[in-house]
């Protein structure tokens, strides 16, 4: 459900700007948007990358699918419309965190291309880095980290991505990680390399 903003609100420009925060932090802020099937490795990777960045004195925060659904999006289900609204709220939150000077890592299946595209378009080019965690569904199902595939196969979970709800792979992501075959360390290294290459972060 989209609630339009009130015509009686006025945007207040801060004096402490994103640029000033970035200068204080000594790194750029950016959104790292991990997408992929359940069990592909989004959360594991986001937290592992965050760990490395934190040790290197970067300001970071992980927005994790399950955690967000406990609070901000607790009222939403898994139908197409609710999934869309889930991603819209997260995108807006990530945009605020960008202004706060934080390297924000989001770990959501975010199955629909159009929703991810909308998230990208909310911010300037370069502020949104889409990372596709590419992993065959067979491998995700073997891992079955949360036991959800088993439940979905037994018909206990409706609209489960990859089984009874579609996953639209990114056409042109900034980075593709073969999370089904490569080690976690290799994948983390590729993300950090990309951040260095983009000039987000120079101290890894």
Q: For residue 162, give Cα distances in angstroms to 4, 153, 156, 183.
A: 33, 11, 15, 23
Q: Which of 32, 40, 73, 102 binds ligand ADP (CB under 6 A)?
A: 40
Q: Which is nearer to ligand ADP, 44 or 91 (CB)?
A: 44
Partners of residue 103 on adjacent β-strands: 30, 60
Q: Which is nearer to ligand ADP, 154 or 183 (CB)?
A: 183
Q: Which of 38, 91, 110, 161 binds ligand ADP (CB under 6 A)?
A: 38
Q: Which of 41, 111, 162, 170 binds ligand ADP (CB under 6 A)?
A: 41
Q: How far is Cα 180 from Cα 172, in angstroms, rounded to an integer?
A: 19
The answer to whether residue 190 forms part of the interface with ligand ADP (CB under 6 A) is no
Q: CB under 6 A: which stretch of 11-19, 32-40, 122-130, 165-173 binds ligand ADP?
A: 32-40
The answer to whether residue 107 forms part of the interface with ligand ADP (CB under 6 A) is yes
* Residue written as token pair 């994948």: 187
Measured from the CB of residue 69, what is the shortest distance to ligand ADP in angstroms? 13
| Active-site option among 38, 110, 164, 165 | 110
Measured from the CB of residue 134, what is the shortest distance to ligand ADP in angstroms? 10
Q: Let me know if 110 is a catalytic residue.
A: yes
The answer to whether residue 162 forms part of the interface with ligand ADP (CB under 6 A) is no
The binding track of 167-186 with respect to ligand ADP, each residue x by CB under 6 A or -, is ------------x--xxx--
Q: For residue 78, give Cα distances in angstroms to 62, 85, 87, 124, 139.
A: 21, 10, 11, 29, 23
Q: For residue 89, give Cα distances in angstroms to 42, 74, 153.
A: 19, 12, 30
Q: How far is Cα 176 from Cα 89, in angstroms, rounded to an integer?
A: 25
Show Cβ contacts of residue 17 under 8 Å, excluding neighbours closer than 6 positions: none
Long-range residue pairs from 145-154, CB within 8 A, at least 24 positions apart, any chain:
145/38, 145/39, 146/38, 146/39, 148/38, 148/39, 149/38, 149/39
C-beta nearest to ligand ADP: residue: 41
The answer to whether residue 43 forms part of the interface with ligand ADP (CB under 6 A) is yes
Q: Which is nearer to ligand ADP, 30 or 109 (CB)?
A: 109
Residue ranges that bind ligand ADP, judged by CB under 6 A: 36, 38-45, 107, 133, 143, 145, 179, 182-184, 187
């Amino acid at each position: 459900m989209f609630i339009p903003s009130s015509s009686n609100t006025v945007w207040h420009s801060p004096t402490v700007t994103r640029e000033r925060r970035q200068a204080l932090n000594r790194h750029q802020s950016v959104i790292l948007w991990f997408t992929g099937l359940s069990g592909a490795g989004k959360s594991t990777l986001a937290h592992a990358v965050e760990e490395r960045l934190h040790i290197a004195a970067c300001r970071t925060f992980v927005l994790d699918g399950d955690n967000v659904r406990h609070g901000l999006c607790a009222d939403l289900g898994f139908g197409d419309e609710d999934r869309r609204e889930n991603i819209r709220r997260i995108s807006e939150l990530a945009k605020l965190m960008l202004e706060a000077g934080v390297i924000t890592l989001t770990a959501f299946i975010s199955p629909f291309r159009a929703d991810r595209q909308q998230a990208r378009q909310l911010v300037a080019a370069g502020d949104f880095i889409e990372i596709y965690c590419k992993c065959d569904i067979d491998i995700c199902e073997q891992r079955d980290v949360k036991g959800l595939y088993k439940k979905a196969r037994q018909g206990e979970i409706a609209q489960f991505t990859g089984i009874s709800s579609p996953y639209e792979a990114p056409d042109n992501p900034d980075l593709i990680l073969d999370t089904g075959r490569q080690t976690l360390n290799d994948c983390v290294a590729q993300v950090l390399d990309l951040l260095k290459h983009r000039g987000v972060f120079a101290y890894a």
